[in-house]
Amino acid sequence: MIIAVTGTPGVGKTTVSRLLSEKLGYEYVGVKEFAREKGIGEMVGDELEIDVDELAEAMLREFHGRDVVIDGHLSHFVPADVVIVLRADPRLVAERLMERGYSREKLAENVEAELVDVILVEALEENENVLEIDTTGKTPGEVVEEISELLERGIKRRFGIVDWSGVYDEVLPYLRLGSGRM
């Protein structure tokens, strides 16, 4: 089974993906590392721009018929049996990205993406089986248990459980259009 774990930067993808792969006994694969290894994409400034079609083809060839957890904010473009979309309160995403030293522009772009469900919408457009998981206030272990329980119960489609519209005013300072400071 191929499980793709995706979401906005800062929602906990890597930690959850590694723990999930350990719990299930699946191989762990990071999208960025795989793309670098296979020569997919090109460096633009200090970021690797990945061609998602080339990535999807290469990962399908490499992992078809194997048990693998694919980690990365582009993993929902890879053919998978189930896509897990991790979500987190945009204020938490902002805090984590500030700690990582993201530029104001990249921070605003990612907070806005989380606020308006960009990754979830893309995942639903690309995949039949999508599970949305709110990681806010949960430990990585709790998130893995929630995912495991849903998979064990055979649930393959669950979304619409997150609505960040109630925190919009509090997130405005992080957005490019907002007023105020970070």
- Check the annotation: does 14 bind a ligand: yes
- Check the annotation: does 10 bind a ligand: yes
Q: 3-class secondary structure for 70-100? A: EECCCHHHCCCCEEEEEECCHHHHHHHHHHC
- Check the annotation: does 15 bind a ligand: yes
What CA–CA distances, in Å, run from 21 to 12, 64, 77, 157? Answer: 14, 16, 19, 20
- Check the annotation: does 135 bind a ligand: no
- Check the annotation: does 87 bind a ligand: no
Tokens of 32: 């960025």
Q: Which residues line the annotated binding site for ATP?
A: 10, 12-15, 100, 138
Q: Which residues line the annotated binding site?
A: 10, 12-15, 100, 138
